[in-house]
Structures are given as C-alpha cells and as structure tokens.
C-alpha cells in the first residue's frame, strides 16, 4: 500500500510541476533582433501572442516546466489556419484505436466516396507507395507539408461532433473546428460528411461508414470580425470579414496539444490523447521530419526547403537545417496570420524548449488581397524569436542534463 501511495504522490507532484505563467523575459539584447523588437513594441498592431516554456529535468528525467507568456489572451480571436490539423491528426489515431477491428490500422486502405454535389471522392493516392490512401499516409502529408486535402479527409472521417466533443473532454476549451480547408463550402455543407470505406488489399470491406451530418452548430459565439475590407472573388467588400463559422484554436490550447504529444505523462489521463506509444512515435517522427527526408510522399527540395514549415530560428533561411536540430511542430499561414507551435531540440547542446506564437501582418487591413508583410515582418519575427530564445537556452544552466535520446528517430 505504501509503495502505491508514494507512486501516487510522486505522480501528483509531477503533474503540478508546471510553474505559474510569468511574463516572457525579453529583458536585454533586443537590439540584435530588430524585427522582434519592433513587433514587441507594437504588439497591439501585430496582435502578437507568445507562450515560451523552459524545461528542466528532475532526478527521474521527468520534465519540470516553467511557462512564460507575452500578451496572451485566449479570448482574442485569430485565424488558426493549418494549426488545427495537429489535434485532428491525433484524434484520427485515437478514433482508429477505439474501433479495435482486426485488419483496421493506420495503413488500411481508406476510400472516401461522395454523397452530395459539394463533396469529392478520394479512391487513389499516387503519392503513397501502395497507390492507395490511408489514415497513416494522410497524416504524413499533413505533418510534412501541411496538405489541405489530407486534413479534409480526416475531418470527413471524424465529423464535427467527434472532434469538438473529444477536444472539450481533454480540457481544450478555446477550440472550435467546423470546416474543411481551401474548399468554398457553406457552414451548412461543412456539417455534412462523406461516406467512407476501409477495405483490405483484396477489396473486402472491413468497415463501412455512411454519409453523416451534425445538427449541432459549432461556431464562435462572439462573432469575431477581422480587417476593414476583403475580396470575394474579384469584388472588394468594404466591411470586415466575419469569422463566426471559421475554425478557432487558441495559443494556450495549441501549446497544450503540443505538450500532450511530447510529454503525455505531464497530463491527467482524461486530458491525454489516448494513442499507443507506437502511434505517438509515428506522429513525433513526421512532425520533425523534413520534406526532403521523405520517400513516400516525396517532395522536391527546391520547392519544399527545410524551413518550409519550420519558422522558429530558420524561417528566413533557405539552407539545410543542421542535423543537430529537430523541431517538432505545426505551422499555420492565412489571412495575414502566421502561427507556429514547436518543441525545439538541439541534441548537441542538450537544449529543449517549447514556444508557440502568432503574429498578424496586414498593414492595409484588407483580407484576400495577397498583400501581407509575411517576408518583411512575419517570417523574420519567428526567425528572430527562435534565435533569441535559443541563445537564452544555450546560456541557461541546468542542474540535470536532458536525456533527449527518446526524440531521435530514423528518417
């Protein structure tokens, strides 16, 4: 009994080892980071929010996290773009394990049919080694290059009810996922989901899921609006764009999803994503893999540079990222918003930290005009913030060195 009591107490102490959030320590040296300094000094204009987490280790190698915040406000809306793909990836694997069906796994052929004029089928995938789509292959495409169609297929598999219920149960209460990406569908059409079949290599049906819909309306109840005007096709609409029926994913929730997959032991059981260690390692591997390291799917390096979806520290650099670094992350980029949430690792120097941030770069306040200050402000902000925090971590003394061997994967 005593042994179990001690185990329970040590677990409780570990779960509450994350220190109270403090202001981000931007105290000195900003003169070397001109864009970062500019953004921090005009944070309301750029609507910047930052969460930075220092990690120390105890004698059992468990992470002890100290969280710093800058301008954090979970009620302030920003468009999360592709960052919503990460929780859907994890929920797709959780759903898969819940089915507990013989022959149904991440590599099982997944055939998506259509039941409405707005829907599209997906019966082949030339980028996979087998030529067939599957949950696992969709996940690879999402994590490697943020493929929109791959996300849409997992969204259609799970449906809004499952996605939003599961995220709420895990304590992610500032998140709404209610639409496909890069598909001009009405909110009503986005509440309908395609029929799907999982089949074996001989074409025998393992699981058949009919067309479904939801009666629940998942929306942003505060009806957020952004900008002063927007383009709809070739027409300029002289009013803010309404994001009531757009996805929402706060910085705190995004940061929480990252930590749940990197350090699941830091969360209570019902807050975790219930996936196997094999699936967790699969996700971590492809979160950190560079496009050039993948064979199926494969991506041309001249188009998909190492920094294609790695904004922190390397966002403005077209050169290969040195092998000592691995960044386990997900980015988003739309409507003038740039977002990145990362677990940043330097194996050579034993550096590890989390950083999640959003910035809004839209000087003229017109949406959909493709005139955003991404190259001038957005990407340099992430590169400088990543470098600033990395240099800070290099100088920070740790009593117990981090054992990062569990985050080394064969690529």
Q: How many CA atoms lie within 13 A of 61 on its CB side?
A: 7
Say how far apart CA 180 and CA 189 lie, in whole Å. Answer: 10
Domain spans in the chain, listed from the N-terminal domain onward:
18-407
Contact 307, 382 (CB under 8 A): no
* 27, pLDDT greater than 80: no
Q: Is 254 exposed, middle or buried (0-12, 13-18, 19+ CB in 10 A)?
A: buried
Q: Is the peptide bond before 186 cis (omega within 30 degrees of 0)?
A: no
pLDDT reported for residue 20? 59
More confident residue, 219 or 11: 219
Count each helix (H run) and each strand (E run) in the chain, helices first. Answer: 9, 18
pLDDT reported for residue 12? 42
* 68, pLDDT greater than 60: yes
pLDDT reported for residue 29? 86
Question: What is the percentage of the chain residues whose pLDDT exceeds 70?
Answer: 94
Return the closest-CA partner of residue 305 out of 326, 285, 290, 289: 290
pLDDT reported for residue 140? 98
Q: Taking the CA atoms of 167, 173, 178 and 183 in sequence, report the sign of the dihedral they define.
A: negative
Q: Which CATH architecture has domain 18-407?
A: 3-Layer(aba) Sandwich (3.40)
How would residue 18 be classed by pLDDT, with cut points 50, 70 and 90?
A: low
* 123, pLDDT greater than 90: yes
Contact 193, 163 (CB under 8 A): no
Q: Is 41 exposed, middle or buried (0-12, 13-18, 19+ CB in 10 A)?
A: exposed
pTM score of the predicted model? 0.94
Residue 176 DSSP one-character state: E
* 334, pLDDT greater than 60: yes
* 3, pLDDT greater than 80: no
**pLDDT tens column, 94-109:** 999 999 999 999 999 9
Return the closest-CA partner of residue 401 out of 360, 349, 364, 359: 349
Contact 66, 132 (CB under 8 A): no
pLDDT reported for residue 13? 41
Q: Which two tokens stand for residue 382?
A: 């992430």
Q: Which two tokens stand for residue 222?
A: 């505060």
Q: How many CA atoms lie within 13 A of 58 on its CB side?
A: 12
Say how far apart CA 389 and CA 391 lie, in whole Å. Answer: 5
Q: How many residues does the chain have?
A: 411
Calculate ∠ Cα 81-85-89, nearest 5°.
Answer: 175
**pLDDT tens column, 314-333:** 999 999 999 999 999 999 99
Q: Which two tokens stand for residue 316?
A: 């403005």
How would residue 19 be classed by pLDDT, with cut points 50, 70 and 90?
A: low
Say how far apart CA 201 and CA 207 lie, in whole Å. Answer: 13
Q: Which residues contact 409 (CB under 8 A, 6 or more apart)?
A: 281, 284, 285, 288, 289
């Amino acid at each position: 009994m005593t042994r179990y009591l001690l185990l329970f107490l040590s677990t409780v102490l570990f779960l509450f080892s994350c220190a109270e959030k403090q202001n981000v320590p931007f105290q000195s040296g900003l003169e070397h980071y001109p864009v970062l300094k500019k953004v921090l000094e005009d944070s309301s204009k750029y609507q910047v929010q930052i969460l930075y987490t220092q990690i120390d280790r105890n004698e059992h190698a468990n992470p002890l996290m100290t969280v710093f915040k800058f301008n954090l406000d979970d009620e302030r809306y920003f468009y999360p773009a592709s960052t919503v793909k990460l929780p859907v990836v994890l929920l797709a694997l959780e759903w898969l394990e819940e089915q507990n069906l013989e022959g149904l796994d991440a590599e099982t052929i997944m055939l998506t049919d259509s039941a409405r004029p707005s829907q599209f089928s997906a019966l082949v995938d030339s980028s996979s080694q087998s030529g067939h789509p599957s949950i696992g292959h969709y996940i690879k495409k999402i994590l490697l290059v943020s493929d929109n169609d791959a996300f849409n297929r997992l969204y259609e598999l799970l449906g809004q009810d499952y996605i939003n219920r599961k995220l709420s149960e895990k304590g992610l209460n500032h998140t709404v996922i209610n639409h496909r990406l890069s598909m001009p569908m009405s909110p009503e059409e986005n509440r309908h989901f395609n029929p799907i079949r999982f089949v074996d290599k001989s074409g025998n049906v393992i699981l058949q899921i009919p067309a479904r819909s939801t009666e629940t309306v998942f929306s942003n109840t505060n009806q957020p609006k952004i900008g002063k005007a927007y383009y709809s096709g070739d027409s300029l609409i002289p009013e803010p764009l309404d994001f009531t029926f757009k996805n929402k994913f706060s910085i705190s929730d995004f940061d929480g999803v990252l930590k749940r997959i990197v350090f699941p032991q830091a969360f209570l059981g019902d807050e975790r994503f219930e996936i196997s260690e094999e699936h967790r390692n699969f996700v971590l591997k492809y979160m950190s893999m560079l496009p050039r390291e993948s064979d199926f799917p494969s991506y041309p390096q001249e188009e998909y540079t190492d920094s294609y979806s790695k904004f922190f520290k390397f966002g403005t650099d077209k050169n290969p990222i040195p092998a000592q670094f691995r960044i386990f992350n997900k980015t988003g980029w739309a409507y003038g918003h740039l977002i990145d949430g990362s677990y940043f690792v330097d194996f050579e120097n034993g550096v590890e930290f989390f950083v999640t941030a959003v910035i809004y770069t839209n000087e003229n306040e017109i949406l959909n005009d493709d005139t955003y200050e991404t190259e001038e402000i957005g990407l340099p902000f992430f590169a400088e913030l990543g470098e600033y925090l990395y240099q800070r971590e290099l100088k920070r003394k740790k009593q117990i060195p981090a054992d990062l061997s569990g985050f080394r994967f064969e690529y």
